[in-house]
Amino acid sequence: MKKFNFPLTPKKIASKLDCTTNFTKKVKLNNVTELHEANEHSVCFFENPKFMDALRETKAGLIFVSKDFDKSLKPNANLLLIDKPYIHFVMLVRTWLNLDNPKMKKSRIDNSAKIASSAFLGKNIVLGSNCVIGENVNIGDDTIIESNCVIQDDVRIGKNCHIFPNTTIYEDCVLKNNIIIHAGCVIGADGFGYIFHNGIHNKIPQVGNVIIEDDVEIGANSAIDRATLGSTIIGKGTKIDNLVQVGHNCKIDENSILCAQTGLAGSTEIGKTVYLAGQVGVAGHLKIDDGAMIGAQSGVTNDVPKDAKLFGSPAIEAGLQKRIMVSEKYLPEVVKEYRKRQKAKDKK
């Protein structure tokens, strides 16, 4: 369970929400967890009936439930009745983390950090141990950069960003506001570009950059390559999972989701609110239009129209691909019957 140093009461939590309450006891709350792990100081949520047994047994000090919840199922518990309990529970956790995070309370620059004289640091900056900040770097207010990060020359980082340990951001990249980059990411490494000439692979200079818009989150050990020319762009509100590769000159629009081990070859265009499930591979110079959804382990080899749902390798319409997969289990019997008929035909 996640424990907080900053305790809250059920009444304090409810005062910030449009909800009704059924409070039966006074408690101080200091952790969030699942129903089956909870103690009297825990905050939990209940939405799915399959967890009814856990609800009955839980000792949680406060439970977020739906407005139509039958209070007789948990008559002695503190209940907060609200639309979409899980969403509001998540919002509480996010707010609580900010209240509880000591790094957010004051500026702290570790003595081992190396900062170029031409760099500009905003207010309330945190720099962890062994960070390196290059020439002409500009870092906005309330940004946290944890240990062993390298921010190369001419990088701009906006306000309220959080860059976790061992991240490298190459020169000229631009990160806007409210961005989270998890540990081990590489932003702005060279795109994978070569020309085969005179019997060798000649490297194409990669002189573009990466631009990451507001409210983007990038998971651990992901790589976003710089453009050959121009910019690789990650649009506002897009969320990228761990171990994702985004090739040079890709453009990802707003609020898209790229799940773990997805790979985009160079110059791929992703529209708004596109969902790429785990291990999706996209060939280069393709466009996946707004609202499209691509199933796990799919290989995309052609442009994808708006709101399409594709699956498979090569990716085709998801419903058709599912029927094909169901049909495949009958293939041994079909082949057996075919051979039987072929033998009978050959005897005639």
Q: Residue 54 in 3-state DSSP?
A: helix
The verdict on residue 342 lying in a domain is no
Q: Render pLDDT for 260-281 as a digit per residue (tens, 0 to 9).
A: 999 999 999 999 999 999 999 9
Query: What are the residues facing 217 on neighbouring strands?
Result: 180, 239
The verdict on residue 343 lying in a domain is no
Q: Do both 78 and 42 map to the same domain?
A: yes
| Burial of residue 126, with CB atoms counted within 10 A of its CB: 0-12 exposed, 13-18 middle, 19 or more buried | buried
Q: Provide the residue range defining the domain that includes 33.
A: 2-100
Query: What are the residues facing 186 on neighbouring strands?
Result: 168, 223
Q: Do both 178 and 91 map to the same domain?
A: no
What's residue 147's pLDDT?
Answer: 97
pLDDT band at 249 (very low <50, low <70, confident <90, very high): very high
Q: Which residues are catalytic?
A: 248
Q: Among 47, 78, 100, give the residue marking a domain's end.
A: 100
The verdict on residue 316 lying in a domain is yes
pTM equals 0.86
Mean pLDDT, rounded, for 305-326: 94
What's residue 343's pLDDT?
Answer: 85
The verdict on residue 144 lying in a domain is yes
Q: How far apart are CA 158 and CA 217, in angstroms?
A: 14
CA distances 47 to 18, 37, 83, 227, 343, Å, are 18, 17, 10, 45, 60
CA distances 279 to 16, 31, 243, 276, Å, are 40, 34, 10, 8
Q: Do both 96 and 208 map to the same domain?
A: no
pLDDT band at 106 (very low <50, low <70, confident <90, very high): low
What's residue 345's pLDDT?
Answer: 81
Which pair of structure tokens corresponds to residue 160? Answer: 């309220």
CA quadruple 305, 259, 314, 250: dihedral positive or negative? positive
pLDDT band at 287 (very low <50, low <70, confident <90, very high): very high
Q: Do both 75 and 155 map to the same domain?
A: no
Q: Render pLDDT for 27-69 as a digit per residue (tens, 0 to 9).
A: 999 999 999 999 999 999 999 999 999 999 999 999 999 999 9
Q: Do both 83 and 229 map to the same domain?
A: no
Q: Do both 6 and 24 map to the same domain?
A: yes
Q: Which residues fall within 8 angstroms of residue 196, CB to CB, at 6 or more apart?
A: 202
The verdict on residue 253 lying in a domain is yes
Domain CATH for 55: 3.40.1390.10
Q: Do both 94 and 121 map to the same domain?
A: no
The verdict on residue 348 lying in a domain is no
Domain count, the chain: 2
DSSP state of 304: B
Q: Do both 75 and 224 map to the same domain?
A: no
The verdict on residue 216 lying in a domain is yes
The verdict on residue 234 lying in a domain is yes
Kind and range of the H or E element at 326?
helix 318-328
Which pair of structure tokens corresponds to residue 208? Answer: 């573009």
Cβ atoms within 10 Å of 145's Cβ, excluding its own: 27
Q: How far apart are CA 69 and CA 112, in angstroms?
A: 54
Q: Do both 254 and 120 map to the same domain?
A: yes
Q: How far apart are CA 22 and CA 49, in angstroms?
A: 20
Q: Residue 180 in 3-state DSSP?
A: strand
Q: Do both 125 and 16 map to the same domain?
A: no
Query: What are the residues facing 150 on neighbouring strands?
Result: 132, 168
Angle, vertex CA 61, rays to CA 55 and CA 65, nearest 5: 50
Domain CATH for 252: 2.160.10.10
Q: How far apart are CA 241 and CA 301, in angstroms?
A: 22
Q: Do both 125 and 95 map to the same domain?
A: no
Q: Do both 96 and 191 map to the same domain?
A: no
Find, among 129, 171, 127, the residue nearest to 145 by Cα: 127
Angle, vertex CA 271, rays to CA 270 and CA 277, nearest 5: 60
What's residue 102's pLDDT?
Answer: 57
